[in-house]
């Protein structure tokens, strides 16, 4: 199907060269086992990650600003084809001076609490929407991706888990997908987390052979998505809204 260079944010590999490329399997991959309650304390190694170096650089430089950040180890073996990424894995791990460890965890299993989501939407300044409709939208989305922050003090076993990002996509499960509602907690913006979340969604959609990935971008974020590989109005195709309300 497509041969593209796509980043693998799940595995931060500073030593990989620019020659690596990415081949998407033509097979339709059956949905992953969803396990929203499973919590992985250790970071997972992903085999055969291949990177689009320019894209990857932009994420790494964002994440490496804080020099107490722990980089997740790269895999030691190469594989010809991209294996399905797990539904949940650690994107970033940071250690504070007092010993507190914070992990940013990506998940695509849809484990989003609607009350937490409402609070997050408030935090980014979005207009309020009815909780029941939010819940229905989550339930009827083809994919719901989330970012959670998990903080713990070693030796205490106590954890603080918070929703800090979300994105979802609708789809006909065959040809088209449209990404909606991408948001990241303002306290966590500017670190490449939103980029990583969307990039992972794209990769999962491609692995499921859904080749037409679309979205509607507010004017101030068109550049953000352009940097992720999106193009506005290709061949003059216009996104249109029925009697939009301002």
- 102: tokens are 């914070």
Of the pair 50, 63, the CB lying nearest its own copies is at: 50
d(C-alpha 27, C-alpha 161), whole Å: 36
- 95: tokens are 């250690």
Stretch of residues binding its own copies (CB under 8 A), selected from 45-53, 92-100, 101-109, 165-173: 165-173
Whether 225 is catalytic? yes
Stretch of residues binding its own copies (CB under 8 A), selected from 61-69, 132-140, 147-155, 158-166: 132-140
Q: How far is the CB of 216 from its own copies (least distance, A)?
A: 5
Stretch of residues binding its own copies (CB under 8 A), selected from 58-66, 78-86, 185-193, 214-222: 214-222
Give the binding-site size for its own copies (rule: CB under 8 A).
53
Residue pair 149/103 in contact (Cβ under 8 Å)? The answer is yes
CA distance readout (Å), 10 to 6, 73, 97, 104, 118: 12, 10, 25, 11, 27
d(C-alpha 36, C-alpha 108), whole Å: 9
77 binds its own copies (CB under 8 A): no
Q: How far is the CB of 55 from its own copies (least distance, A)?
A: 12
Q: Which of 115, 142, 188, 225 is catalytic?
A: 225
CA distance readout (Å), 20 to 17, 49, 57, 195, 233: 6, 9, 14, 20, 30
229 binds its own copies (CB under 8 A): yes
Stretch of residues binding its own copies (CB under 8 A), selected from 117-125, 146-154, 183-191, 221-229: 221-229
d(C-alpha 42, C-alpha 93), whole Å: 10
Judged by CB under 8 A, the residue of 113, 174, 187, 190 near its own copies is 174
d(C-alpha 150, C-alpha 134), whole Å: 24
222 binds its own copies (CB under 8 A): yes
Only one residue has tokens 């990583």, namely 196
Q: How many CB atoms lie within 10 A of CB 216?
A: 11
237 binds its own copies (CB under 8 A): yes
Which sequence positions are flagged as catalytic? 225
Q: Which residues bind its own copies (CB under 8 A)?
A: 2, 4, 129, 133-134, 136-137, 139-141, 168, 170-176, 178, 180, 202, 209, 211-219, 222, 225-226, 228-246
């Amino acid at each position: 199907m497509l041969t593209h260079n796509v980043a693998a944010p799940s595995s931060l590999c500073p030593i990989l060269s620019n020659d690596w490329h990415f081949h998407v399997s033509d097979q339709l991959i059956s949905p992953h086992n969803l396990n929203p309650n499973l919590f992985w304390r250790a970071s997972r190694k992903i085999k055969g990650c291949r990177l689009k170096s320019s894209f990857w650089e932009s994420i790494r430089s964002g994440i490496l600003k804080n020099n107490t950040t722990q980089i997740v180890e790269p895999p030691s073996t190469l594989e010809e084809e991209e294996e399905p990424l797990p539904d949940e894995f650690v994107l970033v791990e940071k250690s504070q001076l007092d010993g507190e460890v914070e992990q940013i965890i990506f998940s695509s299993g849809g484990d989003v609490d609607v009350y937490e989501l409402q609070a997050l939407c408030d935090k980014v300044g979005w207009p309020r929407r009815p909780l029941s409709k939010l819940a229905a939208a989550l339930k009827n989305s083809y994919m719901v991706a989330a970012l959670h922050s998990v903080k713990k003090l070693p030796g205490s076993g106590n954890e603080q888990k918070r929703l800090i990002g979300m994105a979802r996509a609708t789809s006909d499960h065959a040809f088209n997908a449209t990404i909606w509602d991408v948001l990241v907690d303002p306290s966590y913006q500017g670190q490449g987390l939103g980029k990583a979340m969307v990039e992972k969604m794209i990769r999962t959609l491609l692995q499921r052979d859904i080749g037409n990935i679309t979205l509607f971008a507010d004017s101030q974020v068109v550049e953000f998505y352009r940097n992720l590989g999106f193009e506005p109005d290709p061949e003059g195709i216009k996104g249109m809204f029925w009697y939009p309300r301002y």
